[in-house]
Structure 1
Amino acid sequence: MSIQKSIPILLLLLLASAVCSAQPTPSALAHEYHIEAFGAVGDSITLNTQAIQAAIDTAAAEGGGKVIVPPGQFMTGSLFLKDNVELHLMAGATLLGSVHKKDYQWITDEKAYGAKGGPAAAVSGIIMGNQVNNISVTGSGIINGQGGKGEDFRAYPLTDDGSKWHKPPRPKTIMLYYCTNVRIEDITSYAPQEWAQHYLGCDFMNIRGVKIHAHDNANGDGIDLDGCQDVVMSDCILDTDDNAFILKGRGARDCINITVQNCIFASKITAIKTGTESSGGFKNIVINNCVVRSSYEPKHFDKFRQQMNGSGIALEITDGGTMDGVIISNIVMEECYAPFFIKLGDRGRLYKDGVNTPPPGKMKNIKIQNIICKKTSNRYTSTITGFPGHYIENLTLQNIHIEHEGGIKASDVFSDLPENSSHHPWPGMFKRDANYPAYALYLRHVKNLTLDNITTTLDQPDERPAVYMEDVQNERLRFLDFDPKGAKKQIVHKP
């Protein structure tokens, strides 16, 4: 090679070297704050709230950075994330939630008081954020809420039938209040005192790779998105005593633009749910490629908790909100009493004092497709119901297979289901433990319904039809294939 040709190459190499040397190294870019440098002790006994909070506050004051929790068991009360701070739990690191109420701080929620109205609710958590931006909780470490431990937080039934409970206010594991640009990644959460993760009014969120085990105290939800918008959630495994994944609208704010994919949801109540509280509505929701199953955990604390998952998919509007634009697809569910529970009701709860009673809500443009339901029992049929004069509109059920236990005689069917439109929404709201008029789908007050490629199999002969429709308008039925061990008339229409 000539000297003339080699000079340009040499200049390029020198330029590339200069550019690379001008770029900061990863260690120079990362501002790390190790909690042990601020006095934290990982002996599972020392209360480290002040030391860890000092590391967070220092990181925020210096423009942001990563607060490192090293291997060890670090007891703490409420920690408040600040702008531009990442809390990172290394492998082998555990944050232990204190079991004493005095170690927690409580935010008075002036925006969404809660499902039952009354005075402003107070919310708390181990990891908290109050109207902050660009925050993260990451790492392969563990957050252990020590659920059910300590008299300050222990829930227990007050009556033999479980109708009344002692349920004190309890901290969540993660409680973020009106935060933006949130990343929750790879964290494992055990034994929350109440819900594991509650995000209230948060926007622009990414939740990925989270694992939750919640079976040690009452109301053990997994992840609750409450009036949140622009959220992507993926690759999570949630095993819960209560609802695994739930969208709520406890205030006037809608859940909008939510995508969930590639998750496993195990529950003893409901695996995938929108509603219960629905003053706010649910718009543009996509849930795809998930497995739903019953939790295999024993009944840890609650003898009234059922063993099988109650509902696989529950969509509810009962407090005046609007549901518009929901697609749920590619789900395999196993051992659910009611694979589908879809309810438009008129309970009309006030989410806080001083607001008007909401008018009836709306549910429309819902598509559920490519679903396999295995080991479905007789406890409840899948029900899809509005109430008189108020219809669920534009509903499509497509490519759905239901395997059902069967074995019910016509004489054992509870055929005249009351409306109960003002009742709390759940599969047994029409009559607890009754045999409903169909074994696969019971539909009432639905307009513009499509049933396409619906198939069933029965373990035992069942004298009920597969589908029972009452006040269903403009239905389109095609490619329906029901087990011949069902009633001779497989589809019943009632005006």
Structure 2
Amino acid sequence: MRLSFKTITTCILLGFATASIQAQTYTITDFGAKADKNINNAAAIQKAIDKATIAGGTVLIPAGVFMSGAIQLKSNVTLQLNKNAVLKGIADRTAYPSYPITHKLHSVSGQSGHALIYASRAQQITITGEGKIDGNGEDPVFDTKDNMNTMRPFGLLIESCQNVTISGIRMENSAMWMQRYINCDFLRMTGVTVFNHANINNDGVDIDDCHNVIISDCVIDADDDALCFKSEGDRGVKNVVVTNCILATHASAFKFGTGSTGGFESVQFSNTVIRQSLASNMKHPFKQKSGLTGIDIASVDGGLVRDINIYNISIDSLENPIFMKLGNRMRRTAATPAKKMGAIEGIHFSQISIKNAGPSPVTLTGFPENYITDISFRDIFIEHRGSGTAKDTSLVVPENADQYPGTRVFRRTLPASAFYIRHVKNISFHTVQLGFIGHDERAAFVFDDVEGLEFTGLKYRTLSPVPHIMVLKDSKSAVISFSPLSPGKVQQLNSSGIILNK
């Protein structure tokens, strides 16, 4: 029997309606939970979750502050926090057992973790609503003196799960990272607000070895990295869309790497504002209120980073607006041998607006004989505060290829004011506007060991005369076309195959 399209559509709608009717709601107060600051409601909430997972359903947290230790979310369960509902972590270290991470990780982050909400190998799980998850991470019981990294609970630890949805809620004050997702497929986060400034290592979101990820319409303000992608296993991060967000940090706002074993591929990052944090306190050891780095991309543990498209981004007041590092730290556990060096290739930036840029320029650097390749910048606007002197252009920058990949791996002042590019092949610039609101005597662009440079279209406005706007050192095969810059404003040191067009 052949059914018509109308009949099929009706059946699907009836199926959703039937599912909605059958899916029950389980209110945690019906299982003994109480809005009392002296009661650990973990057991009551877990009973509601265990009941809901049998046939699928919603576990409802009503208005009120409900203290809890660790709970485990299970398949086909929606955890809904109503308006004015707060799920707050209880200040008791024994209330957060060490949960296993079944996905194999190579780095030092470990195969276990502590969390307020944990899920493993679950399907169709959702956390939603107008309420709040508060990790209570500022409580002295979570002091870092005797509770380093893995001993402090995450707000959420979701690993090896499929079809995970986080929407609407507010999350704040974790003792460690606010959210950690490992080896998940089809992760969607939308309309979420994160304000995480209670402790050190207070990342907003960490996504590790996940595929098919959508993050949209979120506001993430974190003391440490705001939105951080890691690959600490062999699976890597693939197929990611991040759009329509506001990110703020005292560290890095949008980040790939530090953990970079499996790599990162096929990422779209767009329509986002990166700004200063609204927090008045700082736990981060560098005490950089405006934030360290806007966009931070690294491969230092053997991973491949490629096919990354970044467009329509506004970056305001970061010390270093964009940082890209290919290195050879090769961080592994003792039982895991190192593999071949990683690579960074096919990274494209367009329509990037950088305001109040700090002393560190946009920095892209590989290491000798290991080049970052196929990079493009198009329609870039930079407003620079200035700070450097003419002699800074001659600074010698150490390689530091085996160190932690962050902007502070080098000195804060680099030879260039706008772009410092080293050990890069095939890089293009099309339409760059650069204006200074403070004095800076450094060259705007320094290209060191660069092969295959194309540069067209530069508008340059400065308060300080500079000996050279552009310096090419040990570079070859460049075509540079812009006016009214004269060839005398380009300095060539041990370079060849340079074509200058007025």
Normalising by structure 2, we get a TM-score of: 0.88
1:406 CA displacement: 1.1
Which of the numbers 115, 135, 142 marks the counterpart of 1:145? 135
Task: Name the residue aligned to 2:354.
Answer: 373
1:189 CA displacement: 0.5
Task: Name the residue aligned to 1:35.
Answer: 28
Task: Name the residue aligned to 2:434.
Answer: 456
What is the distance in 2 between the residues matched to 1:424 and 1:60?
Answer: 43
1:121 CA displacement: 3.4
1:147 CA displacement: 1.1
1:460 CA displacement: 2.2
Change in Cα spacing, 1:21 to 1:209, as seen in structure 2 (3 Å) is closer
Stretches of structure 1 lacking an aligned partner (at least 5 in a row): 1-18, 159-164
What is the distance in 2 between the residues matched to 1:123 and 1:200?
Answer: 11
Q: Give deviations 1:263-314, integer Å, cap 9, x for gaps.
A: 0000010000000110110000110100001213122445642111100000
1:166 CA displacement: 5.1
CA contact under 8 A between 1:344 and 1:361: conserved in structure 2? yes
User: Could you tell which deviates more after superposition, 137-146 or 96-105?
Assistant: 96-105
Which of the numbers 50, 68, 82 marks the counterpart of 1:76? 68
Task: Name the residue aligned to 1:421.
Answer: 401
1:481 CA displacement: 1.7
Change in Cα spacing, 1:304 to 1:461, as seen in structure 2 (3 Å) is closer
What is the distance in 1 between the residues matched to 2:314 and 2:59?
Answer: 39
CA contact under 8 A between 2:282 and 2:289: conserved in structure 1? no
CA contact under 8 A between 2:106 and 2:336: conserved in structure 1? no
Which of the numbers 376, 387, 395 marks the counterpart of 2:375? 395
Q: Give deviations 1:193-225, integer Å, cap 9, x for gaps.
A: 111110011111111011000101010000111
CA contact under 8 A between 1:154 and 1:167: conserved in structure 2? no
Change in Cα spacing, 1:44 to 1:489, as seen in structure 2 (3 Å) is same
Structure possessing the higher relative contact order (Cα contacts under 8 Å, 6 or more residues apart): 1
| Matching residue's letter, 2:143 | R
Task: Name the residue aligned to 1:49.
Answer: 42
Task: Name the residue aligned to 1:13.
Answer: none
Task: Name the residue aligned to 1:10.
Answer: none
CA contact under 8 A between 1:248 and 1:274: conserved in structure 2? yes
Task: Name the residue aligned to 1:472.
Answer: 450
What is the distance in 2 between the residues matched to 1:20 and 1:178?
Answer: 30
Task: Name the residue aligned to 1:443.
Answer: 421
1:319 CA displacement: 0.3
What is the distance in 2 between the residues matched to 1:324 and 1:166?
Answer: 33
Q: Give deviations 1:22-60, integer Å, cap 9, x for gaps.
A: 995797244111111111101232111110000000011
What is the distance in 2 between the residues matched to 1:205 and 1:481?
Answer: 42
- Secondary structure at 1:56 match in 2: helix
What is the distance in 2 between the residues matched to 1:230 and 1:146?
Answer: 31
| Matching residue's letter, 1:356 | P
What is the distance in 1 between the residues matched to 2:87 and 2:16?
Answer: 35
Q: Give deviations 1:397-438, integer Å, cap 9, x for gaps.
A: 11111111114222355611011100111112122x3x2110
1:111 CA displacement: 3.4
Change in Cα spacing, 1:105 to 1:168, as seen in structure 2 (3 Å) is closer
Change in Cα spacing, 1:55 to 1:306, as seen in structure 2 (3 Å) is same
What is the distance in 1 between the residues matched to 2:458 and 2:128?
Answer: 47
1:187 CA displacement: 1.1
Stretches of structure 2 lacking an aligned partner (at least 5 in a row): 1-11, 475-502
| Matching residue's letter, 2:232 | R
| Matching residue's letter, 2:440 | D
CA contact under 8 A between 2:223 and 2:283: conserved in structure 1? no
| Matching residue's letter, 1:155 | T
1:236 CA displacement: 0.3
| Matching residue's letter, 2:190 | R
The 5-angstrom pairing of residues 224-243 of structure 1 reads 224-243=206-225
Task: Name the residue aligned to 1:11.
Answer: none
What is the distance in 2 between the residues matched to 1:228 and 1:420?
Answer: 29
Which of the numbers 470, 473, 481 marks the counterpart of 1:491? 470
1:258 CA displacement: 0.5
Are 1:179 and 2:161 matched, yes or no? yes
CA contact under 8 A between 1:67 and 1:85: conserved in structure 2? yes
- Secondary structure at 2:48 match in 1: helix
- Secondary structure at 2:443 match in 1: coil
CA contact under 8 A between 1:400 and 1:454: conserved in structure 2? yes
| Matching residue's letter, 2:133 | I
CA contact under 8 A between 1:414 and 1:436: conserved in structure 2? no
Task: Name the residue aligned to 1:5.
Answer: none
Change in Cα spacing, 1:285 to 1:245, as seen in structure 2 (3 Å) is same
1:381 CA displacement: 2.1
Task: Name the residue aligned to 1:108.
Answer: 100
Q: Give deviations 1:65-87, integer Å, cap 9, x for gaps.
A: 11100011111111111111100
- Count of residues in correspondence between the two structures: 464
Change in Cα spacing, 1:356 to 1:114, as seen in structure 2 (3 Å) is closer
| Matching residue's letter, 2:343 | K
Change in Cα spacing, 1:51 to 1:166, as seen in structure 2 (3 Å) is closer
Task: Name the residue aligned to 2:144.
Answer: 155
What is the distance in 1 between the residues matched to 2:286 and 2:372?
Answer: 32
1:168 CA displacement: 6.0
- Secondary structure at 1:336 match in 2: coil
Are 1:247 and 2:226 matched, yes or no? no
What is the distance in 1 between the residues matched to 2:198 and 2:247?
Answer: 17
| Matching residue's letter, 2:176 | E
1:480 CA displacement: 1.5
Are 1:325 and 2:314 matched, yes or no? no
- Secondary structure at 2:417 match in 1: coil
Change in Cα spacing, 1:31 to 1:446, as seen in structure 2 (3 Å) is same
Task: Name the residue aligned to 1:217.
Answer: 199
Stretches of 4+ aligned residues off by more than 6 angstroms: 19-23
CA contact under 8 A between 1:44 and 1:75: conserved in structure 2? yes
Aligned-residue RMSD, C-alpha: 2.2
| Matching residue's letter, 2:33 | A
What is the distance in 2 between the residues matched to 1:203 and 1:445?
Answer: 35
Change in Cα spacing, 1:25 to 1:177, as seen in structure 2 (3 Å) is closer
Change in Cα spacing, 1:21 to 1:106, as seen in structure 2 (3 Å) is closer
What is the distance in 2 between the residues matched to 1:270 and 1:167?
Answer: 18
1:353 CA displacement: 3.3
1:150 CA displacement: 3.4
Are 1:361 and 2:342 matched, yes or no? yes
| Matching residue's letter, 1:64 | G
CA contact under 8 A between 2:201 and 2:284: conserved in structure 1? no
